[in-house]
Amino acid sequence: MSKIHVSATVNGDPVEFLADPRETLLDCLRDHLDLTGSKEGCGTGDCGACSVLLDGRLVCSCLVLGVEAEGKRVETIEGMAEPGGELHPLQRKFIEHAALQCGFCTPGILVASKALLARNPDPTEEEVRYWLAGNLCRCTGYDKIVRAVMDAAADLRGAA
């Protein structure tokens, strides 16, 4: 099948790649753009390890075709820290609270949490749990993840 040329903005940078029409956005990020921070846990939209923002909307990049990114803005885990390296408060709090064990779910959960805090800066525990219900973590039992997200939210509110 012939490939399609795609232009998009990824983490603020203009990018171009050639996508097979069957390739997902996740495949394109990982295999064509070397952005392997987004993970594939299922490929069926059930685990959230591939979470990215597409024009500001939280999506499972395994359920988006690469060609659909044409002209769009994509934000991945690799773009979460400041360009100089300063971590986003969520990233800091995840380390501080030991909210990762194997860390494989972490990129997706951080991206999803950032989207949550963008629309709800003061979520309750229940709101965090329901928002993250699409992100599977098999290691932590979610306790420390939920605490880290709530603590980062408090931090961000304090800074605002």
The residue from 67, 140, 146, 156 that contacts ligand FES (CB under 6 A) is: 140
Restricted to residues 7-66, the positions that interact with ligand FES (CB under 6 A) are 40-43, 45-50, 60, 62
The values of phi and psi at residue 130, to 5°, are -70, -35
Among 4, 43, 154, 155, interactor with another protein by CB under 8 A: 43
Of 53-61, 64-72, 88-96, 151-159: span binding another protein (CB under 8 A) = 88-96
Backbone angles phi, psi at 55, to 5 degrees: 50, 40
Instruction: Answer with the entry of ligand FES, another protein, none that 62 interacts with (C-beta below 5 to 8 A by kind).
Output: ligand FES
DSSP output for 67-103:
GGGTT-EEE-GGGSS-TTSPPPHHHHHHHHTT--SS-
Q: Out of 10, 74, 110, 153, point to the residue binding another protein (CB under 8 A).
A: 110
CB 90 within 8 A of CB 112: no
State yes or no: residue 101 binds another protein (CB under 8 A): yes
- For residues 72 and 9, the answer to whether their CB atoms sit within 8 Å is yes
Question: Where does this chain bind ligand FES (CB under 6 A)?
Answer: 40-43, 45-50, 60, 62, 100-105, 137-140
